[in-house]
């Protein structure tokens, strides 16, 4: 068995982090310009499009290969995902595969249990890990266009920023792009920082992953994190019909249109296991004795 790596000493790249902070300051400029219908619509539309690109592209496709698609559409997913400024698709997927290997153990890049909220939320990105471990992502690193985008991962975002300005002027740049990117960042980051501490655990995984409806709504389905950690190979993270997973619904529609194929579904044995665990917990709650009411003692005369 491979030995677990020692817990590293964090050495943040403050120069890179200062750019991240400057982006937040630029986002404050959104409150100094008029919010137009065009800029607000662009903000909302880009949030949904980029969140889908992150969840379907970075995560379910490049990191876990839960479906197949054409070379042109995988390039489109990488480009759209990189407009979120969360580094390159190869970098993101390689680091995420490492997270699953060491989840909540020494070697996990962003465990809130080991390193606290702020490191797991965003500081880990600047912890001297900007190199892409191509050995972890050899299946996609063989494509030169993906290697190019991985090296120049800021390019798609600046293309988008210029487009927002051309479409909606200063409001498009400040509201739709800068503020929209900051909102997108912190929404996606919650899966690392909150989905291991806030929510319910259906499956007894070896980590502390949890399911959370609110995070699932915020991230188009990523909040069903305990489901995902229990069975990582499914394109669907909301295993049951009542677990909202918008990213899966869009992937399903794309599969019907022939854009993606071979969606990997959750096996029936996993679904049956989950139903059995849910039923057992309901029985345990029903049979648990209710707390007795406190008995009032007589007052001393």
- Average pLDDT (285-300) is 58
What's the confidence (pLDDT) of residue 8?
56
**Phi and psi dihedrals of 69, rounded to 5?**
-160, 180
Domain presence at residue 21:
yes
With cut-offs at 50, 70 and 90, classify the pLDDT of residue 5.
very low
Quick one: how many helices (H) and strands (E) in the chain?
Answer: 14, 2
69: β partners: 260
What's the confidence (pLDDT) of residue 301?
40
What's the confidence (pLDDT) of residue 289?
67
What's the confidence (pLDDT) of residue 285?
85
What's the confidence (pLDDT) of residue 81?
98
- Average pLDDT (19-43) is 96
Mean pLDDT taken over the chain: 92
What's the confidence (pLDDT) of residue 195?
96
Residue 169: exposed, middle, or buried by beta-carbon count in 10 A (0-12, 13-18, 19+)?
middle
**Phi and psi dihedrals of 126, rounded to 5?**
-110, 25
- In whole angstroms, how far apart are CA 285 and each of 181, 242, 281? 42, 21, 6
pLDDT at 290 over 90: no
Residue 93: exposed, middle, or buried by beta-carbon count in 10 A (0-12, 13-18, 19+)?
buried
Domain presence at residue 290:
no
What's the confidence (pLDDT) of residue 15?
83
Tell me 232's DSSP state.
T
With cut-offs at 50, 70 and 90, classify the pLDDT of residue 10.
confident
pLDDT at 297 over 60: no
Domain presence at residue 3:
no
Task: Please list, residue by residue across 116-127, b when 16 or more beta carbons sit within 10 angstroms of its beta carbon and e when fewer do.
Answer: eeebbbbbbbbb
With cut-offs at 50, 70 and 90, classify the pLDDT of residue 300.
very low
Structural domain containing residue 272: 14-284
What's the confidence (pLDDT) of residue 16?
83
pLDDT at 6 over 90: no
Q: Helix, strand, coil shares of the chain as percentages rounded to 5?
A: 60, 0, 35
* Residue 122 falls in which region: left (phi positive, over 0), alpha (psi -120 to 50) or beta: alpha
**What share of the chain in percent tops pLDDT 70?**
93
In terms of pLDDT, which residue wins out, 295 or 247? Answer: 247
Domain presence at residue 201:
yes
Domain presence at residue 244:
yes
Tell me 174's DSSP state.
I
Tell me 35's DSSP state.
-
Q: Which tens digit of pLDDT belongs to each residue from 145-171?
A: 999 999 999 999 999 999 999 999 999
Total number of domains constituting the chain:
1
Q: Which tens digit of pLDDT belongs to each residue from 223-232?
A: 999 999 999 9
With cut-offs at 50, 70 and 90, classify the pLDDT of residue 74.
very high
Alpha carbon of residue 220 to chain centroid: 9
What's the confidence (pLDDT) of residue 284?
86
Three-state secondary structure call for residue 285: helix
**What share of the chain in percent tops pLDDT 90?**
84
What's the confidence (pLDDT) of residue 172?
98
Domain presence at residue 45:
yes
Domain presence at residue 292:
no
Domain presence at residue 5:
no
């Amino acid at each position: 068995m491979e030995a677990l790596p020692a817990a590293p000493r964090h050495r943040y790249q403050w120069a890179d982090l200062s750019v991240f902070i400057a982006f937040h300051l630029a986002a404050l400029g959104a409150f100094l310009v008029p919010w137009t219908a065009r800029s607000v619509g662009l903000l909302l539309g880009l949030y949904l499009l980029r969140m889908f690109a992150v969840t379907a592209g970075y995560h379910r496709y490049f990191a876990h290969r839960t479906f197949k698609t054409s070379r042109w559409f995988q390039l489109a997913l990488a480009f759209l995902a990189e407009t979120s400024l969360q580094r390159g698709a190869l970098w993101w997927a390689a680091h995420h595969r490492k997270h699953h290997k060491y989840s909540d153990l020494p070697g996990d890049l962003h465990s809130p249990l080991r390193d606290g909220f702020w490191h797991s939320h965003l500081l880990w990105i600047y912890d001297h890990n900007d190199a892409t471990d191509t050995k972890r992502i050899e299946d996609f690193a063989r494509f030169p266009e993906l290697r190019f985008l991985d090296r120049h991962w800021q390019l798609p975002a600046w293309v988008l920023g210029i487009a927002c300005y051309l479409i909606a002027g200063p409001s498009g740049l400040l509201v739709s792009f800068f503020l929209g990117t900051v909102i997108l960042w912190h929404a996606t980051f919650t899966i690392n920082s909150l989905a291991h501490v806030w929510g319910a655990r259906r499956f007894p995984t070896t980590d502390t992953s949890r399911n959370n409806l609110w995070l699932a709504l915020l991230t188009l389905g990523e909040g069903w994190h305990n489901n995902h950690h229990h069975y990582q190979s499914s394109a669907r993270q909301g295993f049951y019909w009542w677990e909202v997973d918008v990213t899966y619904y869009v992937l399903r529609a794309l599969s019907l249109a022939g854009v993606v194929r071979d969606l990997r579904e959750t096996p029936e044995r996993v679904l049956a296991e989950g139903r059995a665990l849910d039923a057992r917990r309901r029985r345990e709650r029903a049979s648990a004795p209710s707390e007795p009411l406190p008995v009032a003692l007589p007052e001393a005369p």
